[in-house]
Amino acid sequence: KAGVTQTPRYLIKTRGQQVTLSCSPISGHRSVSWYQQTPGQGLQFLFEYFSETQRNKGNFPGRFSGRQFSNSRSEMNVSTLELGDSALYLCASSFQTGVNTEAFFGQGTRLTVV
Amino acid sequence: GENVEQHPSTLSVQEGDSAVIKCTYSDSASNYFPWYKQELGKRPQLIIDIRSNVGEKKDQRIAVTLNKTAKHFSLHITETQPEDSAVYFCAASMGSGGYNKLIFGAGTRLAVHP
């Protein structure tokens, strides 16, 4: 079974630009969560999507948004990029049964804002 | 608020010794507590998890204990090996109902010296 796939692996963007990151979950998984990982703040929850609906949201500004498609693939978008948005963005997929189950992480997209 | 505190931030042990990492969570509704291991440049990988209806769980050299009253949970690694060197993250689910919102601790960098 293929794992969680994130594309692209690396991105360099300029302040003020916008970026879209993609996550393909494990086949059969319907829940996709996104996390931001930085050396100073650790792993911080951005949002979770299930069946194309956002179910949870972390404490990030509205510049961070996401969506999920009918095939469970998810994208997150960051608009008006700031230097502080430089981070490793990880997505995790879970097979949702109504109780918490293991979250499998992708390799991440490393975003550098210059 | 939603918070998970993790201690220590760094831990250095000799091969064969035991290592213990402790976490405290804030949300009394949390019912799922996974531990992830992240090696340098790699994705976080689940090593063990525990649910709130269980006090202890063991998998070979790794064990996790949970004290719901005190809102503490701990990771115990026995007979440490150099390949155990990595950053370990604890996490707690926020709320119940199977929603995949995990709040992570800041991480513990474990170094096992031969």
Give the chain B residue nearest A109 (alpha carbons): B43
- Cβ within 8 Å, pair A97-B98: yes
Give me the residue from A33, A55, A100 closest to B31, CB to CB.
Answer: A100
Secondary structure (DSSP) of B20-65: EEEEEE--TT--EEEEEEE-TTS--EEEEEEETT-SEEEETTEEEE
What confidence tens digit (pLDDT) does each residue in B17-27 have?
999 999 999 98
DSSP A70: T
| pLDDT above 70: residue A1 | no
- Maximum distance among all Cα pairs of chain A, rounded to whole angstroms: 42
Q: Which residues of chain A are within 8 Å of residue B51 when distances are taken between CB atoms?
A: 99-100
What confidence tens digit (pLDDT) does each residue in A12-71 have?
999 999 999 999 999 999 999 999 999 878 899 999 999 899 988 899 999 999 999 999
- Cβ within 8 Å, pair A105-B51: no
CB atoms within 10 A of CB B106: 17
Give me the residue from B45, B93, B103 closest to A100, CB to CB.
Answer: B93
> Following CA atoms B48, B92, A24, A13 in sequence, which dihedral angle do they give, to the nearest 10 degrees?
-120
CB atoms within 10 A of CB B25: 24
Backbone dihedral angles phi then psi of residue B83, each to the nearest 5 degrees:
-70, -5
Do A4 and A24 meet the contact criterion of CB atoms below 8 Å apart? yes
